[in-house]
Amino acid sequence: MSICEMNVRQVAAGVREKKFSAEEVFDKCLERALLHENKVTALITMTADTGREQAARVDERVAKGEDPGPLAGVPVILKDNMCTHGIRTTAGSRILGRWIPPYSATVWKLLSSAGAVLFGKANMDEFAMGNTTGSSAFGPTSNPWDLSRVPGGSSGGSAAGVAAGYTPCALGSDTGGSIRQPASYCGVYGLKPTYGLVSRYGLIAYGSSLDQIGPFTRSIEDMALIMQIIARHDPKDSTSVAENVDFSLPLGDKDGSIGLKGKRIALVKEFQGFTLDPPIADAMKRMVLLMEEAGAEITEIGLPVVSRYAVACYYAIAASEAHTNLARFDGVRCGLEAASASGLKEMFEEVRSKGFGPEVKSRIIAGTCLTEPVRSEEYYVAATRVRTLIAAEFQKAFEGVDAILQPVTPSLPGKIGEVDEDVMKGYESDLYTLPVNMAGLPGLSFRVGYTSARLPVGLQLVGPRWSDKNLLDIGFELEKVLGVPQSAFDTAACNTTSFKGGN
Ligand code: GLN
């Protein structure tokens, strides 16, 4: 097995046991990225020098007989909205095109103290607004499984980097689906943790009450390992909760057959009336059969408020929070400078007009209107009230249920350029992901199989708050049948379930 095909645990074990060095791992991954990056463009910044230095330090520690940590020498890609001390962090925007943060996000501090090395900063939709990575000021990213298609977004670069085998894991952020949707499009695992479980300190905010950082991996065990490291209370994030979710517990019987006995899995009644691309509908049917055979009890729940109001409500709240969060980018403290402005107002105008792209501007305008004193009661405040109803509806639904099985998206990844044109369709396609953020729930996106054209097909498990580990337990059982996700450039033929129809 080549180093690029290894998962997080295998890389770290190899480095700690001196089977290969961290520098060797880094160079192999770099070689792989240099081979494919001109086609995929997953990264905004490749941190070759910093990464190699960090790898050399890991090797020094191993040589001295010290333990560099559970992620010894594991190269990691971070979405470019996570601050990295001394390394450009752009949030996919021109306005931060040359910004070098003076501090690092808590997640990166935790990963690097566990021995991880920085591979690069991933491309993303500008300020995480979008679902194709096409709104990045740095150009689009391609889906490694079909270069003419989008990788999803907004964390498309992180998902594509893992799917292309540059690194065995990456971090993304999910405000309304931005980890789970690209994970599904790129055929890897993506977890949106319970809100408050992972620190947001150093994450460039989009919608602060919805944003959450989470991992992309190619195995469930890796997902548990990364979560064990990053799911920590952080006094620097006032919404970080000291709740203890123990990811170090065993995931289940490794060698046993798939066992879902006692797990109560629900399907959402209202969702069943909505159209899905045939391979996704097929995947849902197969997964229900598989889970039933493995002993799970399949039930049905109703989410009428979620299915009717979540999309409108989410976009009202997300835009309102975004317009406040983005007010700080004015050319004074950081970011683009206005060379020719004659006064303060002119400077703001110039910096923000040139610095923000069209999607970001439209959301700032929407957020400004929705929160104006005369309108805010009718729109923003109303949306927050509906949000409470959404959270309550989920809470009630979870009384007799461990997890919901549902699609991630209604359709498979579309062609680059084409999908961005239909903005309303893009917003509506977030129906299966964004309610999870509205209620602060965890959601796991997992790869079920591939279409005959080798496009990955994913589904999603959603659980009550703090049930993140339980979702991984279920995912671990399913992995026994579905196999681990592969990287796109390693497989001549995908040997897992393939689906009829689709692309
Ligand atoms: N597509 C959604 C949006 O544009 C979700 C994005 C995200 O999760 N960051 O708001």
Shared domain for 378 and 243, answered yes or no, is no
Report whether pLDDT(416) > 60.
yes
The C-alpha atoms of residue 339 and residue 483 are separated, in whole angstroms, by 55
pLDDT value at 339 more than 90:
no
Q: Could you tell me if 189 and 216 are in contact, meaning their C-beta atoms sit under 8 angstroms apart?
A: yes
Distance CA 244, CA 185 (A): 31
Identify whether residues 76 and 129 lie together within a single domain: yes
Of 183, 164, 158, which Cα lies nearest the Cα of 77? 158
349 and 454 together in one domain: no
Q: Is the CB of 128 under 6 A from ligand 1?
A: yes
C-alpha to C-alpha distance for 195 and 211, rounded to whole angstroms: 8
* pLDDT confidence tier of residue 253, bands split at 50, 70 and 90: confident
Q: Which two three-digit tokens encode residue 131?
A: 């679902």
**Structure-block tokens of residue 97:** 């095109």
Give the residue among 285, 296, 307 at the shortest CA–CA distance from 397. 307
Q: Which two tokens stand for residue 245?
A: 């979710």
**pLDDT per residue as tens digits for the range 430-477:** 999 999 999 999 999 999 999 999 999 999 999 999 999 999 999 999
Pick 253 or 208 by higher pLDDT.
208
pLDDT in tens, 273-316: 999 999 999 999 999 999 999 999 999 999 999 999 999 999 99
Determine the Cα angle at 166 with ends 165 and 170, to 5°. 95
pLDDT tens sequence across 100-156? 999 999 999 999 999 999 999 999 999 999 999 999 999 999 999 999 999 999 999
Which of 392, 423, 455 terminates a domain? The answer is 392
If one residue of 174, 175, 409, 436 were mutated to test the ligand 1 pocket, choosing by the most ligand atoms within 8 A of its CB, it would be 175
Which domain range does residue 357 map to?
Answer: 305-392
DSSP code, position 3? G
Q: How many Å apart are CA 424 and CA 172, to the nearest integer? A: 24
| pLDDT at site 329 | 93
- Judge if the beta carbon of residue 174 lies within 6 A of ligand 1: yes
Nearest residue to 445 (alpha-carbon basis) of 251, 280, 241: 280
Contact 280, 409 (CB under 8 A): yes
Distance CA 53, CA 150 (A): 33
- If one counts the domains in the chain, the total is 2
- Active-site residue, from 142, 178, 199, 429: 178
Q: CB–CB of 141/84 below 8 Å?
A: no
Q: What is the pLDDT of residues 257-274, one digit of tens each?
A: 889 999 999 999 999 999
Are the C-beta atoms of 276 and 499 separated by less than 8 Å?
A: no
Single out the residue in 358, 392, 426 at which a domain terminates: 392
User: Can you tell me which atom of ligand 1 is nearest the CA of 155?
Assistant: 9
The rounded Å distance from CA 10 to ligand 1 centre is 33
Residues 166 and 263 occupy one common structural domain: yes
CB 475, CB 223: distance < 8 Å: yes
Q: Specify whether 423 is located in the same domain as 386.
A: no
H or E element in which residue 385 lies: helix 382-397
Whether residue 334 sits in one domain with residue 287 = no
247 in the same domain as 117? yes
Instruction: Supply the mean pLDDT for the chain.
Output: 94
Q: Is 255 exposed, middle or buried (0-12, 13-18, 19+ CB in 10 A)?
A: exposed
- Residue where a domain terminates, one of 392, 415, 430: 392
